[in-house]
Amino acid sequence: MKKFAVLAAAVALAGAAVAARVDVYAQSFRAGGWKLDVQFMDQMGSPYLIAHGLGSPVPDATADVALPERGEWRVWVRTREWVKGAGAFRVLVDGEPLRPTFGAGDAAWGWVDGGVVSASNRHVRVTLRDLDGFDARCAGVTFTRGEGETPPEGAINVTDREPSKTRSFDFVVVGGGVPGCCAAVAAARAGVKTALVQDRPVLGGNASGEIRVWCAGEMRYPLVAEMRSNFMNMLYENAFSDADRLAKLQREPNLTVFLSHRVFGVDMKNAKTIGAVRALDLENNRVAAFAAPLFCDATGDGWVGFWAGADWRYGREASGEYGETYAPKTADKMTLGASVMWESHVSTYDSPFSAPWAEPYACGQSRVNGDWNWEYGLDRDMFKEGEAIRDRLLLAIYGAFSNAKKDPANRHRRLVTCPFLLGKRESRRLMGDWVYSEKDVTEHRQFEDAVATGSWSIDLHYTITNAVPFLTRCEQPMHGRYWIPYRSIYSRNVGNLFMAGRCFSCTHVGLGGPRVINTLSQLGCAAGEAAAMCLESGLTPRGLFEKGKVRELQRRLGGDFPGNPDPATLDWAYADDEDGATVFAGSWSRHMLHNGGQCGDWTHSVELPVKGVCTATYKLPVKTPGRHKLMGRVPHLFNEVHAPVAALTVASGGKTTTLDWDQYTQSGWWREIGEFDLAPGATLTIDAAKSSGKYLYADGFAVVPVKNAQAAEPSHD
């Protein structure tokens, strides 16, 4: 909490004894209703405050400034005009507004002369007053006096200072998306003293309540289920996931979480070894350093690797490079685009919203909601043009909503979700010893060093038309289940760097499937566990592979791997909805292979309640008569669609048992349904007409002879 004073370096300018400068950093303000935006810091030089009020002016940001002396000071404000017609703000010094209206003028970031104030006191208060709630931005205020009275060159920042403190850990994870959280927790639970450094005040990255992306894909490891968010795209009431995730991490004794710390550089021990990462502590406006023998880049953008000199790629590979049929003939700089997913709600009162200046950017769209396909920047540079990409999306949204609000039917509609944070799908990918590509998916390569599985389609996006440049389409060819090798999660030329998340080693097409959050989070689990093994053995990430330690890594991760079956499931026998022996009666729908796993695809009933016959009857693969555990699995989607009461009938040797199974809370994992005396020929029937909820799911069942069934339940999804 910035209670008082803060600020500011008083700088006696060299060679000009009478000149002085006092800088007031954006991160030194008490933000009020403004938000601190650090996304584009590496592009425009510093954090900045943004008045993201969705059309309602936000409460003031204030800072108390200690000037070296009273008297006349010139005030400079670093800002820009992001669009003509909106984004204006005033700056007040001790309650007196400076003459200019800021945010109107130059489109480029720069210092605007606010005129001279007369400070009767050494302590003055600076106030930023938003005028329209439409994303005014201020990257700091500077007071100057004396000869020249020039503002700073470029942005003001403290990142050129030496760290005020260096903290030492065994493993430092940078980036707190779900993959980064998994890496940090996996290592911490393996006994590693770990730091997780995250630039936002919440964890979760794209899956956080700030951006609201649904966590899809195979979970495989229980830790992924613990760390993921449990909501559908954009769902409004999702704050619980963030709070819950943070609380879980803070309870880990070996883990320290550093929120609101933006990592901006590295200290190299030598050309191939990172010694520490440097972060801007946004709460205290200090530089902090985090030293460790091992690091994990989970920033999505591959920042740590980039600063450390790791090999990286950006854009699409040529089809010939990796034999990819979905790649273009010639390599280019196209990526998947970035999005701002937005939504309006109907309130009980009139809710005015008008943004005529944005309407031309809506390209004729008149909408009250947007989804994943409000996507832009596929052919633009996610780094150099990041702010412009975000702003283009905001303009499209404000314009389309402004158009929709002209319809009286929408007069109670209020824009509720529209993050200022850009949801990125792809940017830099760091290169490892294996570059994961299309053929690994389509040929289902059985990597002996597999550490993760996926089954999401190769999900690539394309612009539809230049006439509406912010709407895209996707192609999602499905290729079943695939494996991702350990060699894709460490850098090939920075010796102590792991990757977790979308910056893992892959091609553009190779990223298409694994890029869903649950699958990327498996990479996090593997990186964390591997870090623990490196520290125990004194091996590097690559050394672990070269010394044949990946089998041991797989054992520690749990579950089945190519050539390394899960000992806990050796005597399981499976019955599946798609194995040909299962008989469906009534109306059922096959579904995509997104949440695959041992039992791959799945089937679901028509929406419940169902009248008439709607059953699926499985032939249970019982080899010898006796006591068996019956295990069941349904895919994990979002719980709301599953049946809390799924009616089951087990029939064997003339005896039938009926019972209810809860698919609502039991989805995603193999669950024990009960113990039964079963003989060859036993069947299991699930009956939609007797079930309740939204849909009844038919996926996989397994029988396990009880004498061998004491082993733990397997950890695959």
Ligand X SMILES: Cc1cc2nc3c(=O)[nH]c(=O)nc-3n(C[C@H](O)[C@H](O)[C@H](O)COP(=O)(O)OP(=O)(O)OC[C@H]3O[C@@H](n4cnc5c(N)ncnc54)[C@H](O)[C@@H]3O)c2cc1C
Q: Closer CB to ligand X, residue 233 or residue 657?
A: 233
> Rounded CA gap, 28 and 30, in Å?
7
**Minimum CB separation from ligand X for residue 208, in Å?**
7
Give yes or no for a contact between 596 and 455, defined as CB atoms under 8 angstroms apart. yes
> Rounded CA gap, 28 and 5, in Å?
9
**Minimum CB separation from ligand X for residue 441, in Å?**
16
Q: How many CB atoms lie within 10 A of CB 347?
A: 12
**Minimum CB separation from ligand X for residue 445, in Å?**
21
> Rounded CA gap, 40 and 280, in Å?
14
- Conformation bin of residue 710: beta by default, left when phi > 0, alpha when psi is -120 to 50: alpha
- What does the chain come to in residues? 717
Tokens 């040529």 found at: 318
Q: Closer CB to ligand X, residue 51 or residue 257?
A: 257
**Minimum CB separation from ligand X for residue 584, in Å?**
29
**Minimum CB separation from ligand X for residue 197, in Å?**
6
Q: Closer CB to ligand X, residue 218 or residue 601?
A: 218
Q: Closer CB to ligand X, residue 461 or residue 628?
A: 461
Q: Closer CB to ligand X, residue 87 or residue 501?
A: 501
Q: Closer CB to ligand X, residue 266 or residue 648?
A: 266
| Residues binding ligand X (CB under 6 A) | 174-177, 179-180, 197-200, 205-206, 213-217, 233, 262-263, 298-301, 303, 339, 341, 372, 423-425, 501-502, 515-517, 520
Q: Closer CB to ligand X, residue 116 or residue 474?
A: 474
Measuring CA to CA, which residue among 500, 564, 563 is closest to residue 526?
500
**Minimum CB separation from ligand X for residue 435, in Å?**
17
**Minimum CB separation from ligand X for residue 328, in Å?**
21
Torsion of CA 447, 448, 454, 458, to 10 degrees: -10
Residue 95 CA from chain centroid, whole number: 41
**Minimum CB separation from ligand X for residue 589, in Å?**
20
**Minimum CB separation from ligand X for residue 321, in Å?**
22
Measuring CA to CA, which residue among 129, 131, 160 is closest to residue 46?
160
Q: DSSP assignment, residue 493?
A: S
Give yes or no for a contact between 141 and 100, defined as CB atoms under 8 angstroms apart. no
Amino acid at 423: G
Measuring CA to CA, which residue among 116, 103, 117, 136 is closest to residue 33?
136
Torsion of CA 365, 371, 376, 379, to 10 degrees: -120
Q: Closer CB to ligand X, residue 491 or residue 582?
A: 491
Give yes or no for a contact between 292 and 195, defined as CB atoms under 8 angstroms apart. yes
Q: Closer CB to ligand X, residue 314 or residue 372?
A: 372
Amino acid at 193: K
